[in-house]
Structure 1
Amino acid sequence: MSDLAIYDKYQHLLFERRGNGILWITINRPEHFNATDKVLHWELSKVWLEVGEDPLTRVAVITGAGRAFSAGGDFGMIDEQHNNFRRVSEIAKEAADVVYNIIDCPKPVISAINGVAVGAGLATALMADISIMAHEARITDGHTRLGVAAGDHAVILWPLLTSMAKAKYYLMTCDFIDGVEAERIGLVSRSVPLADLEATAMEVATKLATGAQSAIRWTKRSLNLWLKQSTPAFEASLAYEMLGFFSDDCREGLDALQEKRDPDYPSARD
């Protein structure tokens, strides 16, 4: 039996052991810019449970195949959520698990952000303990552009990493940020040229994988108490996001994205 057999159930994630206890995870829907469909969304919420229990893994690195890290929610998945209480309830649980399971994973998680990251993909990228972003990559939270409140990770993480002023600006406008600016405002740990991204991620992963394991894990656990103190804000933001999937603005936001046009939100009409 392969030593990766515990990951056999994952369809859109690839796994590779790179020595020194480093597990390399690749989001693998490159033909769709690694957008999160129902399967991938579930996988990104659950994989950290396996990583935490994997005796051969000391550090996990996650990146995207092709030109994107993960380009947000698959349009088909979002369309199914609109005005669908059952599906919204399922997504709410998974969105919470993306955040909580990375926080609670005892092993360090590194993200190597190689291209565009939006939505659940961005939550995974930024919730990682160390985030390394290519200069050329671009990220946006994207929720208000869709017509729903910023939920997922954003309300607890962005003000802590940057400032309340920057968080409000970027979460309400959905302006894109490249790797250089993301590092400048403190949103990511490091930014390097795309050509150096994989080597840099491996260098950092090796440093952690060969370090004092209990000390590193307990440091992660202690620092993440800052995030756990923000649980009420996170739960509120997630509830507001899910409420938005029952709105006309969300319907218009999704239609505009699919039709590649500017949205005309019903709530903003005279």
Structure 2
Amino acid sequence: MPIEDLRPTVDWDKYRTLTLERRDNGVLLVTIAAPEGHPAPTLTRRHTEISCLWRDFADDPALRVAVITGTGDHFWTVEGDEGIDEMRENPGHYGNTVNLIREGLTNVRGIVDCDKPIVSAINGEAMGSGLATALLADISVASTEARLIDGHLLQGIVAGDHSVLSWPLLCGLAKAKLYLLASADLTGEVAERIGLVSLAVPPGEVLGTALGIADRMAAGPQHALRWTKRSLNHWLRTAVPAFEASLAFEALSFFGPDLAEALTAQVERRQPRFAEPAHW
């Protein structure tokens, strides 16, 4: 007798910053943009929704593979002074910082622990939590012209939302240190060359290539596919202690002066003047 499926029913209507398309072959296409009829997303709401997305995807029995992409020239960016104002609320605010840690853990562990495959179609500029999502996807397809920006150090905070977990495994420790410690952004073309993304293709081919890969996996043997992903991701799980340390140090840096100075400098359109470091 079949075992009753006790997984919760997923409420897909709750998403307000992501446009979701459920395809007949079990592919879920996620576009990082507010659905029609809803106001422009806030940074806080978008962080919350992306951290919930992967559990819902895993729990929906009709879905097999997810593809996540952005719109226009942006995969995920922080736009304008409104986004900066939201970030300026965090320094010295314990409750906001705890929430950021929780959502950072939920997003990263959600992607790593989700047995169903996730494909990212990196159509343009990607930064912050969006960059974490793009690069932690099982297969990442980037535009050759996409800009990948881990801007943590530019904002005076520790690179804590994914890079310590995955970059040394993807592109090696030497390249990870070059791009993270020197705060250097890189194109999709360079990212493919160093192993940070799976593929780099011309801009007009990004989504089509990602969907083609997803369609192939959706038609494949699902148990074998998911258990292979789960086995491979044990490499990432071995790095979780390093990731959690980086996330904790990132949270600590929210209480220092450098983040506030970096955000103020962005608003004032000038270079930040970081303070002399305290005794180490």
- TM bin (shorter chain): over 0.9
CA offsets, 1:68-116, max 9 Å, x none?
A: 0001483122111111011100111001111000111121000000111
Maintained 8 Å contact 1:35/1:71: no
Matched, 1:51 2:57: yes
Structure 1 letter corresponding to 2:12: Y
Aligned partner of 2:21 among 16, 25, 48: 16
Paired position in structure 1 for 2:138 = 129
Following superposition, the deviation at residue 268 of structure 1 comes to: 6.6
Maintained 8 Å contact 2:16/2:34: no
Aligned partner of 2:31 among 26, 45, 64: 26
Structure 2 letter corresponding to 1:14: T
Aligned partner of 1:194 among 194, 203, 222: 203
Aligned partner of 2:89 among 71, 76, 80: 80
How has the CA–CA distance of structure 1 residues 35 and 167 changed in structure 2, closer, same or farther, with 3 Å as cutoff? farther
Alignment of structure 1 residues 206-245 onto 2, 5 Å: 206-245=215-254
Deviates more, 1:35-44 or 1:95-104: 35-44
Maintained 8 Å contact 1:29/1:65: no
Distance 1:70 1:151 in 2: 17
How has the CA–CA distance of structure 1 residues 35 and 111 changed in structure 2, closer, same or farther, with 3 Å as cutoff? farther
CA offsets, 1:32-70, max 9 Å, x none?
A: xx9861100001111101000111110000011222000
Gaps of 5+ in 1: none
Deviates more, 1:256-265 or 1:55-64: 256-265
Following superposition, the deviation at residue 237 of structure 1 comes to: 0.1
Distance 2:233 2:183 in 1: 26
SS in 1 for 2:14: coil
How has the CA–CA distance of structure 1 residues 229 and 36 changed in structure 2, closer, same or farther, with 3 Å as cutoff? farther
SS in 1 for 2:276: helix
Aligned residues: 263
Paired position in structure 1 for 2:101 = 92
Aligned partner of 2:171 among 162, 174, 181: 162
Distance 1:267 1:54 in 2: 51
Distance 1:9 1:202 in 2: 25
Distance 2:19 2:100 in 1: 23
Distance 2:86 2:133 in 1: 18
Structure 1 letter corresponding to 2:260: R
SS in 1 for 2:11: helix
Paired position in structure 2 for 1:149 = 158
Structure 2 letter corresponding to 1:51: F
Distance 1:180 1:137 in 2: 8
Distance 1:10 1:134 in 2: 26
Distance 2:150 2:142 in 1: 15
Matched, 1:66 2:72: yes
Aligned partner of 1:266 among 238, 254, 275: 275
Tell me the TM-score normalized by structure 2.
0.90
Maintained 8 Å contact 2:47/2:103: yes
Distance 1:121 1:29 in 2: 15
Distance 1:192 1:149 in 2: 31
Following superposition, the deviation at residue 256 of structure 1 comes to: 1.9
Paired position in structure 1 for 2:4 = none
Aligned partner of 1:183 among 177, 182, 192: 192
Maintained 8 Å contact 1:110/1:132: yes
Moved over 4 A (4+): none
SS in 1 for 2:209: helix
Larger Rg: 2
Tell me the TM-score normalized by structure 1.
0.93
